[in-house]
A and B are shown apart, each in its own frame.
Chain A
Amino acid sequence: MLTNKSKQVVKREMTWMEKAYIPAIFSGMIITFKHIFMKKATVRYPEQTRPFAPVYRGQHVLKIDEAGAERCTACGLCAVACPAEAITMVAAERKKGEEHLYREEKYASTYEINMLRCIFCGLCEEACPKEAIFLTDRIVPSTFERHEFIFGKDKLVETKEHPVDVTKRQTPAVLEFKKDKKHKHNLTVLDKVTKTFNKH
């Protein structure tokens, strides 16, 4: 009787009406009949899909900038932040003539995420100073082999033809950070051009 919620159970004989069962069965049948007209819980999957939450964290994307160059500089902060140790990368130096491919002097020559290890916590995204990695509302497709779950750059980097929308993940805090032009990496190509133009 600590919580005062306990209920006295009475094991009494059923009344004549209860023993007849017919009224109880009848009321039960009315309940099931009402359910015929109720809204169905079914989502007819391939045609209908359940809407994703705006903060849904699915398969990652490695973003490119407006000019089409990869934003990732292989700093390794995402790999350090990753609690599941799912991210590995190899850094390389940008050669002359590759400026259109890589945004800065250093880039990731390989960048792999093991989707079986990944717990989709989003810490890599939080750690990234270059806004290069984002989690998207795409579901990681299932396959039969384990090695197929190690996603390399071929699957992670977005292409100019098929940009991946990450506006949902660009929270106010992210956008606020982006406005801070003190950080060189936050400058867009347009900003750079206007800056040099103003200099002259």
Chain B
Amino acid sequence: MEPLLIKAIIAIVVFAITLLIATYSTYAERKVAAVMQDRVGPNRAGPFGLLQPLADAVKMFMKEEIIPSVSNKWLFIAGPCIAMLTACMTGVVIPWGGPITLGAQKFTLQVADLNIGILYLFGVVSMGVYGIMIGGWASNNKFSLIGAIRASSQMISYEIAMGLAIIALVMTTGTLSLNEIVVQQDEGLANIVIQPLGFLIFIVCAFAETNRAPFDLPECETELIGGYHTEYSSMKLGFYLFAEYINMFISSAVIVCFYFGGYNFPFQHELQNLLGLTENALSIIQVVVMFGKVFFFIFFFMWVRWTIPRFRYDQLMNLGWKVLLPLALANIFITGLVMWGMGKI
């Protein structure tokens, strides 16, 4: 088969899976919230309420769509589009499994193996703030505007600490390609062992970047009604909410790739030799393992959300600038020292 065709198939499959997982994340979120509060959660639509996301989607589409007359119409529409677009774009560089051989050709289960994968990721993620910013501003509503300002300042603040946490990782791995990082963790240790502090900083920043509790200040209901999406209704609102769930999925995948060995699992080559598996069979197992890890982190996101109350805004800024940023800098410094001591640089 044509390499381009296969890439196109992979891209479509990744896109479809991303949307599917984001859809069912809404269901999972409600279930997790429920069981942690000793409730049952959605259980009416279909068996165990599994058709609930479908019902929600139908509801979203059927709702009246309101565009405020005082708003900037085009920007108002552009906001959720950008949020959704950037959310979907991040999934491109994530390796979902080991290489698969079809006929004579070998394919990586990745839409694009960019050698600047991390840079691309950061570029796209920082675009995501525009969706929120534009949407909030175009609404011509004070609450939306405050929400948007909060969102943008929060995301910019935490991007710095996040980037610095990754720099330490890039120092140890010596590459910007996500596939390369994952392959290295197959040969050596998982990066969580090498960069525990970096992981901690990264995951805290990931919560802030996805606007999830305890950093969900841009949409905190008690203060700002709905924050940047106060004026939105129907599927535009759905897009904003959906983009958040896609971001959560992709963040989980990125965390897994960076720090938890991506699709690799311990003793995989021993298992392969023991059972006499082919390369392709192993790759399929790896995909399953990858999704298992990702699902755990999605659960972790929800678990944290239903445990910790929201931060105050000054606490958020203090944490970002006075704690995480110095910690990330110290992490880089220590990493450099250790690498110098081990004679790696």
Contact = CB atoms under 8 A, between A and B. Distances in A.
Contacts of A41: 38-39
A139 interface: no
A44 B40 contact: yes
26 contacts: A25-B304, A25-B307, A25-B308, A28-B308, A29-B303, A29-B304, A29-B307, A32-B36, A32-B303, A32-B307, A33-B36, A33-B303, A35-B35, A35-B36, A35-B37, A35-B38, A36-B36, A38-B38, A40-B35, A40-B38, A40-B39, A40-B40, A41-B38, A42-B38, A42-B39, A44-B43
A182 interface: no
Contacts of A44: 40, 43
Nearest to B300: A29
B307 A36 contact: no
Interface in B184-205: 200
A38 B43 CA distance: 18
A38 B38 CA distance: 7
Interface residues of B, number: 13
Interface of B: 35-40, 43, 200, 303-304, 306-308
A7 interface: no
Interface residues of A, number: 15
Interface of A: 22, 25, 28-29, 31-33, 35-36, 38-42, 44
Nearest to A42: B40
A40 B40 CA distance: 7
A31 B304 CA distance: 11
Nearest to B44: A44
Contacts of B306: 32
Nearest to A41: B38
Nearest to B43: A44
B197 to A, nearest CB: 12
Nearest to A36: B35
B40 A39 contact: no
Contacts of B39: 40-42
A28 B38 contact: no
Contacts of A38: 38
A38 B304 CA distance: 18
Contacts of B35: 35-36, 40
Contacts of B307: 25, 28-29, 31-32
B212 to A, nearest CB: 14
A97 to B, nearest CB: 55
A39 B35 CA distance: 9
Contacts of A36: 35-36
A47 B308 CA distance: 34
Contacts of A39: 38
A11 B114 CA distance: 54
Contacts of B37: 35
B208 to A, nearest CB: 14
B298 to A, nearest CB: 15
Given A33-B36, A39-B38, A40-B35, 10 more contacts: A25-B304, A28-B308, A29-B304, A33-B303, A35-B38, A36-B35, A38-B38, A40-B39, A42-B39, A44-B40
A32 to B, nearest CB: 5
Contacts of B303: 29, 32-33
Contacts of B40: 40, 42, 44
A28 B38 CA distance: 16
A197 B157 CA distance: 100
A174 to B, nearest CB: 41
Contacts of B36: 32-33, 35-36
What 7 A-B pairs have minimum CB-CB distances, sorted nearest first?
A42-B40, A32-B307, A32-B36, A36-B35, A28-B307, A29-B307, A41-B38
A39 to B, nearest CB: 7
Contacts of A25: 304, 307-308
B302 to A, nearest CB: 10
A22 B214 CA distance: 13
B300 to A, nearest CB: 9
B319 to A, nearest CB: 9
Contacts of B38: 35, 38-42
Nearest to B39: A42
A25 B319 CA distance: 15
A22 B307 CA distance: 13
A35 B39 CA distance: 10
A110 to B, nearest CB: 44
Which of A29, A33, A39 is most buried by chain B, counting CB atoms within 10 A of its CB? A29
